[in-house]
Amino acid sequence: MASELILYFVIGFAAQLIDGSIGMGYGVIATSALLASGLPPATASAAVHVTKIPTGIASGLSHWRAGNLDWRLARKLILPGIVGSLIGATVVSVAPAPVMRPLIALYLTIMGGVIMFRILEPPHRDAAKRSVLPVGFLGGLFDSAGGGWGAVVNSTLLMRGFRPSLAVAATSAVEPIVAAAQAAVFGFWLGAGVLGQSGLIALALISGAVCTAPVAALLVRRLPIRPVLFVVGVVLLAINGPIVYSAVAMWR
């Protein structure tokens, strides 16, 4: 058990280091790891979103103290993010686990491909003027399936020409609010007990993630984004690809 907790601590540390530095990766990486360990999809997603509350607060505060946060941009993402998350978390909660497990793995695999594809897409400098409301809604909706808030929201903001530090900070600051809404929905549909089923795992993830948040806030202005995005995409494909393949093989 001790070795497993150390492993989850490392996963939380690494996932938050990536997430806090480039604005994406924590949810999809942590959920992928929990699914691979055998947790039911809804439980894994619920546990990850519970951990996102304190880790997201730590990350948001770190970006605020580092001078990265634009509150006007962050506020525009909050309400649509909550609405999307309520819908998405409800779907994940009521759908049968055997159906959701391969679907979530497929979603995470696709997210890995999307993240890698975004590396090749040039920023649209004139797109920063467009509304970010749909971005927040879609981020909350798809994030409920196992992470992806940052992959959807931050990558879109970057492609619209927002400065990386502003995009990452706004995405990180709003994430705990969206995660709290999702956790409440999971608790309502699955029972509050499900949020504590993997309590030690969640605590280990939180411990690792909180430790790295200040470091990530400083790295956001220094890390080369494209190589890191490539690594995140490869990790998601490697973890979730086999699950999808097994599901397709069984269906045949």
Kind and range of the H or E run holding 189: helix 164-190
Number of domains in the chain: 1
Determine the Cα–Cα distance for residues 78 and 21; give it in Å rounded to an integer: 21
Average pLDDT over residues 78-101: 87
Count how many Cα atoms sit within 13 Å of the Cα of residue 94 in the half-sphere of its side chain.
Answer: 8
Average pLDDT over residues 170-190: 89
Determine the Cα–Cα distance for residues 31 and 41; give it in Å rounded to an integer: 8
Sign for the CA dihedral angle at 233, 235, 239, 245 comes to positive
Q: Domain span at residue 117?
A: 2-251
pLDDT, position 215 = 79
Residue 236's closest CA among 58, 116, 85, 79? Answer: 116
Task: Check pLDDT > 90 for residue 204.
Answer: no
Name the DSSP letter for residue 205: H
Determine the Cα–Cα distance for residues 51 and 183; give it in Å rounded to an integer: 9
Count how many Cα atoms sit within 13 Å of the Cα of residue 183 in the half-sphere of its side chain.
Answer: 18
Query: What is the tens place of the pLDDT at every residue in 21-79?
Result: 776 778 878 888 777 777 777 777 887 888 888 878 888 898 899 888 999 999 999 99
The phi, psi pair for 70, rounded to 5°, reads -105, 105
Task: Check pLDDT > 80 for residue 220.
Answer: no
Determine the Cα–Cα distance for residues 171 and 64; give it in Å rounded to an integer: 12
pLDDT, position 196 = 59
